[in-house]
Amino acid sequence: MKRIYNPSLDEIEQLCIRPTQDDREIKNMVERVFQDVERYGLRAIKRYATKFDGCSDVAVLTKFEILQTSRSIDVTIKKAIDVAYSRIYAFQKKSVQTNLERVTEDGITCWIEQRAIDKVGLYVPRNLVSSVLMLGVPAQLAGSKDVALYTPPNCDALSAICYAATLCKIEKIVLLGGAQAIAAMTFGTDLTPRVNKILGPGNSYVNYAKILAQNKGIAIDMPAGPSEVMVLADGSAIPSFVASDLLSQAEHGPDSQVMLVTTSELVADTVQEEIQIQTENLMRKENINKTLINSAVVVVESMHAAIMIANEYAPEHIILSVENPEEVASKIQNAGSVFLGNYSPESAGDYASGTNHTLPTGGLAKVYSGVSVSSFQKTISFQSLTRGGLDVIGKTIETLAEVEGLDAHANAVRRRMQVEEQNEV
């Protein structure tokens, strides 16, 4: 990891540029998949399933088959899923948006109601049982119908995925992965119906496919990219903990990025030593070492400077390994998920604390939120006017409509007023 001291504004801007890879090949491949699926439908999907997933057919598990498969789950794994599900459900239930109270004034009543988004597709990368819960629980609480879960075949954790799906009341699992899964949800076939919204994490192929899906009129949760974490640390941080958090994200792959911003050079030194020690005992050390090339340790003079860098970087995850985490947290404006204190590892949010791990990356935390119950809902506004209410705002409507040159709008009000006047005569 490169070391940077008190970066200038230009250097901070450079820090905020994420690692990139040549994506021309990815884009060309995904665009070809979309073109073929749109033209040839299920035949193209099966061809790509054979090419990329090693399966000549596409299996769709029914409610009964999901239940049967889930019964072979290991007891220990089942208990872990039960705990994670209960915590995620309890937390997400608190975030369910209720219908707003009706506001009535001068004969005009307005209100807002929530409606579930139906026909949603959940994309779960191979073996990521936790993503079933992170997507399935909010969909369940929102009341979405026709929820289909897509995950690659040849999955070692299929029984666990099926068990998590049963908890979330998901009744269809399509064993299909990659860009071809997103294309299947986008265009629809007899086997894989078109959906209204696609949610879930994925690799570069999946994420570019979601962007193409959006261009075809399918809603998505958010554009997403490689995983990332930033740790803000002062002298109270525990270096071995900080190192473990950085490594937990570095293992995702060479296009991920991890950042340490600290006010203590001693912490910076010790964390880098710990990274070297801990990496040797990790299975994905090759990925980690590639990630660390594109990562940095930033030493600053004050926590104010650290917070400024964090808000500009807008990390997917940010860990506050500081003496006063609540105070610092109140100043974090741009982040996907915030972890306070030395005993709040990023892994907690990934699995079982209750918050969601499907989060904005690449600086998009400045404008996007993570997946929640509201991701599976839409808001509808309502209004009801009495004759007296129309009297109150009728002239305002007519005037503004005429300014805009929309006389039919003004006429819709004027005719109502004239009818009432005629009745009075």
Q: List the catalytic residues.
A: 316-317
Tell me which DSSP letter residue 157 carries. Answer: T
The answer to whether 327 and 340 are in contact (CB under 8 A) is: no
Name the residue with tokens 């450079």.
14
Sign of the C-alpha dihedral computed for residues 162, 167, 168 and 171 taken in this order:
positive
Q: What is the 3-state secondary structure (H, E, C) of 167-199?
A: HCCCCEEEECCHHHHHHHHHHCCCCCCCCCEEE
Token pair listed for 130: 């936790």
Spatial separation of the C-alpha atoms in residues 59 and 149, rounded to whole Å? 12
Residue 278, phi-psi category: left (phi > 0), alpha (psi -120 to 50), beta (remainder): alpha
Spatial separation of the C-alpha atoms in residues 111 and 97, rounded to whole Å? 13
Spatial separation of the C-alpha atoms in residues 268 and 273, rounded to whole Å? 9
412 Cβ contact list (under 8 Å, min separation 6)? none
342 strand-pairing partners: none
61 strand-pairing partners: 173
By residue count, the chain amounts to 425
Spatial separation of the C-alpha atoms in residues 354 and 369, rounded to whole Å? 16
